[in-house]
Structure 1
Amino acid sequence: MPEIDRQREHQANERTFLAWMRTSIALIGFGFALARFGLFLHELQTRLDEKDLPSHSFISSQSLGIGLVIIGIIFIALAVWRYNQVFWQIERGDYRPSRLLVWVTAAIVIFLGFLSIPLLLFRQTSPANSPSSRSRVERYFGKHLSTSLSLKPQTKFRLR
């Protein structure tokens, strides 16, 4: 194989590896954000209801977020493995494309997508939507806002 063709194939292999890395980093970042946002919503609901709410559901935003982080880490390992495998196939001159990793990745992301559907459909009604909790929200934020903001008369400044 001519040297320039071999070089192009290695560069294409590196670009593919970097695409897998970007996908992995996106999954890890999205999983982290999802887990933290779920934790934030749980803490907010606990504060508004003034009691600790049990979170015993397996399918929650926190478990889905942790799952996405784990899958992202696994994808990094698979990307390194695949990059190395293709590297040696190019060097030997017997490259054989494989779609197995693409199918496995798609199946895992589809599965995690299906796990997120119950989070969207079967979410309990938000505490801010009920009339009694709306007054709790107003009392909570009103109390904290009135203590943190001091209402002083505004001073007018003149430009000379």
Structure 2
Amino acid sequence: MTKISPVDRQREHQANERTFLAWLRTSIALMGFGFALTRFSLFLRQFQVATTHQAATHRSIFNSENLGLSLVIFGIVVIVLAAWHYNRVFWQIERGDYRPNRTMVWITTAAVIVLGLLSLPVLLWREVTPNPSVSPSQLPKDGQSF
């Protein structure tokens, strides 16, 4: 165990706290975005019912509600991991045997990539609903526009 000066030890602890707070902000952003996404999907479903006067269509597994819920759950997991990491680094600083570990960075990166890839079907898949106010005879023929 090496002896470090009180000023250096204080700086290391403050850096550890700043890192924890950055992870905390990241998790709050993930949860906030997930919550907003879930609520916006509810709005879109209600808007569809109001404009088409039809019941909402079946929901697949790739929908914005599930994506939003996944983001909220992942945000909670990030908070738990950040607190665990903060405590581990705190004791490593106290013992003087700190070893950097990038596992949490890689786990978070992989999870955000997976959630981003899962959001692609939500973004690209559009359900075409017929407009009840337009009859098939009013639709444009090939080469014509409205």
- Please tell me the TM-score bracket, short chain as reference: 0.7 to 0.9
Q: 2:27 aligns with which of 24, 29, 33?
A: 24
Q: CA 1:88–1:54 in structure 2 vs 1: closer, same or farther (change >3 Å)?
A: same
Cα distance in 1 between the residues matched to 2:130 and 2:124 = 16
2:28 paired with 1:35: no
Q: In the aligned structure 1, how far is the partner of 2:124 from the partner of 2:79?
A: 31
Q: Which residue of 1 aligns with 2:98?
A: 95
The answer for unaligned runs of 5 or more in structure 1 is: 134-160
- Shift in Å, 1:125: 3.8
Deviation at 1:91, TM superposition (A): 0.2
- Cα distance in 1, alignment partners of residues 121 and 54 from structure 2: 25
SS state of the match for residue 95, structure 1? coil
What SS does structure 1 have at the residue aligned with 2:97? Answer: coil
Match of 1:60 in 2: 63
TM-superposed deviation, 1:4? 0.3
Deviation at 1:55, TM superposition (A): 3.1
Higher-Rg member (1/2): 1
Q: Taking structure 1 as reference, are residues 126 and 56 closer, same or farther at Cα in structure 2, changes over 3 Å only?
A: closer
- The whole-number CA distance in structure 1 between the counterparts of 2:97 and 2:87 is 14
Matches within 5 A, 1:1-160: 1-125=4-128, 132=134
Unaligned runs of 5+ in 2: 136-146
- Poorly superposed stretches of 4+, deviation over 4 Å: none
The residue identity in structure 2 corresponding to 1:75 is: V
**Aligned equivalents of 1:58, 1:7: Cα separation in 2:** 49
CA drift of 1:53 comes to 1.7
TM-score by length of structure 2 reads: 0.85
User: What is the number of equivalent residue pairs in this alignment?
Assistant: 132
The C-alpha deviation readout for 1:89-120, integer Å capped at 9, x for no partner, is: 00000000001110000000000000110111
TM-aligned CA deviation for residue 54 of structure 1 = 2.8
Contact 1:45 1:127 in 2 (8 A): no
Name the TM-score, length of structure 1 as normaliser: 0.78
CA offsets, 1:115-138, max 9 Å, x none? Answer: 11011111224778x9739xxxxx
Normalized per residue, the structure richer in helix is 1
RMSD: 1.8
Deviations 1:132-160 (A, max 9, x none): 39xxxxxxxxxxxxxxxxxxxxxxxxxxx
Identity of aligned pairs, percent? 59
